[in-house]
Amino acid sequence: MPLFEIETDAHIIITWAENEDDAREVVDDAYPEDELMRLTKRPRDSWVISKGALGLTDRTL
């Protein structure tokens, strides 16, 4: 089952789903008030959080 990274205006969600429609349903069920900003099918069965993106280091790449 593919792994999806879903960004809303308030959350970043990592979830397994059969397809993009099912991944969107995860957001609709869990956070119906959130606006979907980005939905990405991950190329592998893992995920990474960038410390730079979170502002925890000086590096952004």
CA distance 38 to 6: 6
Contact criterion met (CB below 8 Å) for 11 and 31? yes
pLDDT at position 52 over 90: no
Best CA proximity match to 20, nearest among 1, 48, 44? 1
pTM given for the model:
0.72
pLDDT digits (tens, 9 = 90+) for 1-45: 899 999 999 998 999 999 999 999 999 999 999 999 999 998 877
